[in-house]
Amino acid sequence: MSEELLTEIRKLEVRLQEFIEAEQKATESLRKWIDKLKDFHSSVSKIKEKPELTEKILKLRLESIKAFRDALKEVSKAEHEKSHLLESYGTILLLLEEQLQESKKA
């Protein structure tokens, strides 16, 4: 039983690291999207003064949409990793309780 608990603890450690990395990627991706939105906003404000910027604005709009899609993908991955953490929490709690029950019998 002790080996099983140790295995689950190690699994939790790996899953936590994977979750942290996924969260960092999601955060970076959201920051990139925010930067794209700022670029887009800046260009849209200038279009009244310079109509030739329309093509640039269309390009920035497309880049903004792609950046948002990428951000959503990374957030989704982070949520997936979080679900593994929750699974590990439950398994470890169960194993701790089972080990405690076994030690009381001995």
Q: Give the residue extent of every domain in the chain.
A: 2-105
User: Angle 2-46/54-105 helices, nearest 10 degrees?
Assistant: 160
Which residues contact residue 30 at a Cβ distance below 8 angstroms, ignoring those fewer than 6 apart?
Answer: 71, 74, 75
Q: Are 61 and 47 spatial neighbours (Cβ–Cβ below 8 Å)? A: no
Q: What is the pLDDT of residues 27-82, one digit of tens each?
A: 999 999 999 999 888 888 887 777 777 888 889 899 999 999 999 999 999 999 99
pTM, rounded to two decimals: 0.70
The three-point CA angle 32-18-20 to 5° equals 55
Q: Quick one: pLDDT at residue 72? A: 96
Residues constituting the chain: 106
